[in-house]
Amino acid sequence: MSDSFAVMIIVATIASGIRLATPFLLASLGEALGQRSGVLNLGVDGVMLLGAFGAYYAVLQTSNLYLGLLVGIGLGLLIGLFYAFITLNLHAEQGVSGIGIYLFGLGMSDLLFQKLVGTPRPILPFMPLEIPVLSGFPIVGEMLFQHSIIVYIAFALVPIMSFVLHRTTYGLNVRAIGENPEAADSLGVSVMFTRYSAIIIGNGLAGLAGAALAIELGIFQQNLTNAMGFIAIALVYFGAWSPKGVMIGSLVFGLVQSIVLQCKTFGVIPRSASDLASMAPAIITILALVVVAKRFKQPSALTKPYVRGG
Amino acid sequence: MSSQLNETPMLQMKGITKRFPGVLASDNVDFDVRAGEVHTLLGENGAGKSTLMKILYGLYQQDEGEILLNGKVINLTSPANAISHGIGMIHQHFMLVPTLTVAENVSLGLKSTRGVLTDLKTVSKRITEISKSFGLQVYPDEYVWQLSVGERQRVEIIKALYRDASILILDEPTAVLTPSEVDDIFVIFRKLADAGRGLVFISHKLKEVLDLSDRITVLRHGRVTGETTPAQSDRHDLARLMVGRAVKLAPDKPEVATGDALLRIEDLYVAGDRGRHAVQGLTMEVKSGEVLGIAGISGNGQRELAEAIAGLRTPQSGKITINGHDTTFCKPGQVRDVGLSYVPEERMKDGAVGDFDVKENLILLNHNREPFCTNGFLNFSAIRAHSEKLVKEYAVKTPSIDTCTKNLSGGNIQKLIMARELDANPKVLLASQPTRGVDIGAAEYIHERISQQRQNGTASIVISEDLDEVMALSDRIAVMFDGKIMGIVKQEDATRESIGLMMTGEDQEA
């Protein structure tokens, strides 16, 4: 195996790791936002599935990939609105209602797929968007600057969300409400508005994550996400509720996945052990969680409904 | 005085009535505040002080009555609304976000000069100005979790001043402060009043009320029972207005000869919840017939010490001896068997089962023993007879012994726990915050009971944040700070000042 071949493989592995990390990143950014405001959403995977189907179907009908992304986001926003209503107005228990959202998304996306599409037909994914100049650099260019537009959007959202959380009054409100909603309310900050918006935007991102996945794979099938949404929730804890941390978590997860795939391709792992190897990312995530997440404290008001004067 | 009486008050609450399901929380209450005065609202828990203030701060809306600000009727529908009318509130449980900085906490809910972006620089600058002009030392860039309780309170006050509050509601602001911090904050409150603000001081601590107030309004069962001034009344008058009858503020303490040490603690180390030592090398003993009071601000290892004595928390090293038995590593049941009775700090969490009825809670320690239980079957006639007797003996006010315990008032639940614990004829009684959140009448009764234990030859320890309680009950007073005993003084030699100093970590033994 020549050196240049090894470099090629490494570059391809990293590039594919970044691509694989993208849906996780989008979903966990959304989940992090919701949790920072004090609301847990276990239904991410269901939202992703609906977003994925919506995007797939829209692209199948119109061949417009951007419309697909918008449909994915739109479905996410809609479920977010519903989830916000049941948790914030009706004070539903967040753990259980999140699971309800997941099951709804899982079943509904499959039902719609069976009814509207039936036999899977592939769609064309985004072409890689090569960033002028930068993509021309050897190695780095191929690794970082020859991705589809969704990848750039996802990674651009990391500094944007950091900025919003730490430099804007809205972000300050979100952080305060996730820790002590009484304090925010006593100063006239609307707990309802802040949580509603955080949940809706968060779910919109989950919908986008699903759309990104379906478009990237160019296909939809039952349970396409295969519990990616749950991994995304774990990554929020791994990333200590910070956009940067969540990004690192997603990248680690994507890279491990990509390495396992490469190893399988090259037969490093025997066929008999390939299923075991597929579990590696999940196991590594759990181990990392145990080591990393213990050191950080979750938002104090997480999962606690707020009632004024209560 | 007379010229002041003619002025229109800044704020008037007229005929305020507020009903909650089954309760008349506020019954046609009139209350007003004038510029430059501290007007105290005094009353027991549940007397309606908080309801009234929550109405004033827009958290609740009154069913009847009106609120006038400078003679004009205003409608307070939310805290934001109250703030815009210049009403600020210092909450009993601080309304601060620990993970944010002081400046971030203050700027919450304010309109930023930079649109959607926060403007912490401007906020920090004004915080420093306010802090200078009133002597409220704070640093805008510090995180609130790093601050002491006293500093957090200053942040609370600055938050209100930043919003130009002309009326400040102080909801039990001294509950968590050391005596010297109380002195400091009172100077600031006075300064704020002198600068033309109207202060509403809510408290049930009689001494503080007399120290700070210009006027005092007393509430009982949602109704005003009296209006007075510190010049016209003393602690006994105020207590009578609060309770509706004469109250003994300190129990009788006849001379009792002390005997052997029944509780002995040697060089005890106990870990706290976060792993660090909560109790560090503590040594003390309590003799038969004496009450040892442990004073100190909560969180200095008192809870961990109590749990270690009661067998609920395993010490790391050291030795605990109860009535001659080494109980250092005993389980709670074994500790009780050698003669410990324990009245825990959190009465609804550790002291009684809320969903159990009165009789069930009363036999909770002996429910598996004769005569309450025979061969695994509960013996209800014995249980009922025993419970009826205890309820009567300890004056527990309950509709019946079949009433669900959580429906009783805090004072009566505490009496029920006392009844159960004292009925065991303890050698050592450990009572943690025995009257916290308990009305004066019940507190008086509980103090009397603890005091009686001296005649029975019990060695009692009373852990309390309430310095007056410790002073009233104890024969000797130990002060706990940072897991250590800072000093033990005889009750007759103790002064509030010396104890207060030790509570902040000044070593008296050195």
Instruction: List pLDDT tens digits, range B267-311.
Output: 999 998 766 789 999 999 999 999 999 998 888 899 999 999 999
Examine residue B509 and state whether it is found in any structural domain, yes or no.
no
For residue B115, give the CATH number of its domain.
3.40.50.300
pLDDT tens, position by position, B435-462: 887 888 888 999 999 999 999 999 999 9
d(CA A143, CA A121): 30
CB of B395 closer than 8 Å to CB of B418: no
Say which amino acid occupies B408.
Answer: L
Q: Which residues of chain B have pLDDT under 70?
A: 1-7, 274-275, 507-510
Contact yes or no for A187 and B59 at CB 8 A: no
Say which amino acid occupies A233.
Answer: I
Helix (H) or strand (E) holding B286: strand B277-287
Of B81, B94, B100, the CB nearest to A175: B100
pLDDT: which is higher, A107 or B180: A107
One domain for residues B227 and B309: no
For residues A293-306, give the mean pLDDT: 82
Using alpha carbons only, give the angle A213, A219, A221 rounded to the nearest 5 degrees. Answer: 95
pLDDT at B280: 93
pLDDT at A241: 93
Contact yes or no for B100 and A167 at CB 8 A: no
pLDDT at B172: 86
Interface residue A167 vs chain B (CB under 8 A): yes
Q: Which of A194, A205, A193 is nearest to A157 (CA)?
A: A205
Examine residue B255 and state whether it is found in any structural domain, yes or no.
no
Burial class (CB in 10 A: 0-12, 13-18, 19+), A99: middle
Helix (H) or strand (E) holding B89: strand B87-90
One domain for residues B399 and B491: yes
CA B108 to chain centre: 28
A59-A65-A67-A72 Cα dihedral, nearest 10 degrees = 80
One domain for residues B329 and B217: no
Of B60, B81, B118, the CB nearest to A169: B118
Contact yes or no for A179 and B99 at CB 8 A: yes
For residues A195-217, give the mean pLDDT: 97
d(CA A208, CA A228): 13
Domain final residue pick, B216, B243, B270: B243
Of B60, B79, B99, the CB nearest to A175: B99
Examine residue B249 and state whether it is found in any structural domain, yes or no.
no
Contact yes or no for B80 and A309 at CB 8 A: no
Examine residue B192 and state whether it is found in any structural domain, yes or no.
yes
Q: Which residues of B touch A188 (CB under 8 A)?
A: 78-81, 83, 109
The domain containing residue B304 runs over which residues? Answer: 261-503
For residues A149-160, give the mean pLDDT: 96
One domain for residues B287 and B151: no
Place of tokens 């509601």: B169
Within 10 Å of residue A214's Cβ, how many Cβ atoms?
32
Q: Which residues of B touch A180 (CB under 8 A)?
A: 95-98
Helix (H) or strand (E) holding B220: strand B215-220
Helix runs in chain A, H state only: 3-36, 44-62, 65-84, 94-116, 140-144, 149-167, 169-179, 181-186, 191-217, 228-238, 243-265, 274-278, 280-292
Interface of A with B in 186-205 (CB under 8 A): 186-189
Q: Is the ipTM of this complex over 0.85?
A: yes
Contact yes or no for B100 and A186 at CB 8 A: no
Interface residue A310 vs chain B (CB under 8 A): no
**Distance between B192 CA and the closest CA of chain A, angstroms:** 21
Q: How confident is the model at residue A279 (pLDDT cuts 50, 70, 90)?
A: confident
Could you tell me which residues come within 8 angstroms of residue B85 by beta carbon, excluding any fewer than 6 positions away?
B69, B74, B76
Beta strands in B361-439 (DSSP E): 373-374, 377-378, 428-432
For residues A85-91, give the mean pLDDT: 95
Examine residue B248 and state whether it is found in any structural domain, yes or no.
no
Chain B, nearest residue to A173 by Cα: B108
Of B91, B97, B159, the CB nearest to A176: B97
Question: Which of A173, A187, A302 has the highest number of chain B CBs within 10 A, making it the mutation to test binding with B?
Answer: A187
The helix/strand/coil state of B324 is coil
d(CA A275, CA A267): 13
Examine residue B313 and state whether it is found in any structural domain, yes or no.
yes
Contact yes or no for B79 and A188 at CB 8 A: yes
Sign of CA dihedral B161, B163, B165, B171: negative
Q: Which of A185, A261, A101 is nearest to B95 (CA)?
A: A185
Using alpha carbons only, give the angle B116, B122, B125 rounded to the nearest 5 degrees. Answer: 155
One domain for residues B232 and B314: no
Place of tokens 């915080």: B127
The second-level CATH assignment, the architecture, of A12-120+143-295 is: Orthogonal Bundle (1.10)
d(CA B239, CA B43): 9
pLDDT at A250: 94
A249-288: string of b/e by CB count within 10 Å (b at 16+)? bbbbbbbbbbbbbbebeeeebeeeeeeebeeebbebbeeb
For residues A64-88, give the mean pLDDT: 97
Give the pair of three-digit tokens for residue B258: 């002390």
Half-sphere exposure of residue A8, counting CA atoms within 13 Å on the CB side?
Answer: 5
Interface residue A71 vs chain B (CB under 8 A): no
Within 10 Å of residue B435's Cβ, how many Cβ atoms?
23
Q: A120 preceded by cis ω (within 30°)?
A: no
Contact yes or no for B96 and A180 at CB 8 A: yes
Give the pair of three-digit tokens for residue A81: 């609105």
CA distances from B265 to B114, B309, B319, B457 (A): 60, 9, 6, 19
d(CA B101, CA B114): 19
pLDDT: which is higher, A276 or B414: B414
Q: What is the pTM of this model?
A: 0.79
One domain for residues B239 and B269: no
Question: Which of B53, B97, B106, B117 has the highest number of chain A CBs within 10 A, making it the mutation to test binding with A?
Answer: B97
CB of B426 closer than 8 Å to CB of B339: yes
Contact yes or no for B97 and A170 at CB 8 A: no
Place of tokens 């949940």: A199
CB of B466 closer than 8 Å to CB of B302: no
CB of A149 closer than 8 Å to CB of A211: no
pLDDT tens, position by position, A3-14: 788 888 899 999
One domain for residues B394 and B448: yes
Chain A, nearest residue to B96 by Cα: A183
Interface of A with B in 44-63 (CB under 8 A): none
Domain final residue pick, B243, B278, B296: B243
Q: Which residues of A touch B96 (CB under 8 A)?
A: 180, 183
Q: Which residues of B touch A189 (CB under 8 A)?
A: 108-109
Q: What region does A137 belong to: left with phi over 0, alpha with psi -120 to 50, or beta?
A: beta
Where do the structural domains in chain A lie, given as residue ranges?
A: 12-120+143-295
Total domain count, chain B: 2
Interface residue A179 vs chain B (CB under 8 A): yes
Please provide the average confidence, as pLDDT, over all residues in chain A.
91
Helix (H) or strand (E) holding B462: strand B459-463
One domain for residues B376 and B495: yes
**Distance between A166 CA and the closest CA of chain B, angstroms:** 8
d(CA B172, CA B89): 11
Of B59, B89, B98, the CB nearest to A179: B98
Contact yes or no for A309 and B83 at CB 8 A: no
One domain for residues B82 and B186: yes
Chain A, nearest residue to B98 by Cα: A179
One domain for residues B158 and B273: no
d(CA B249, CA B448): 10
Helix (H) or strand (E) holding B479: strand B476-481
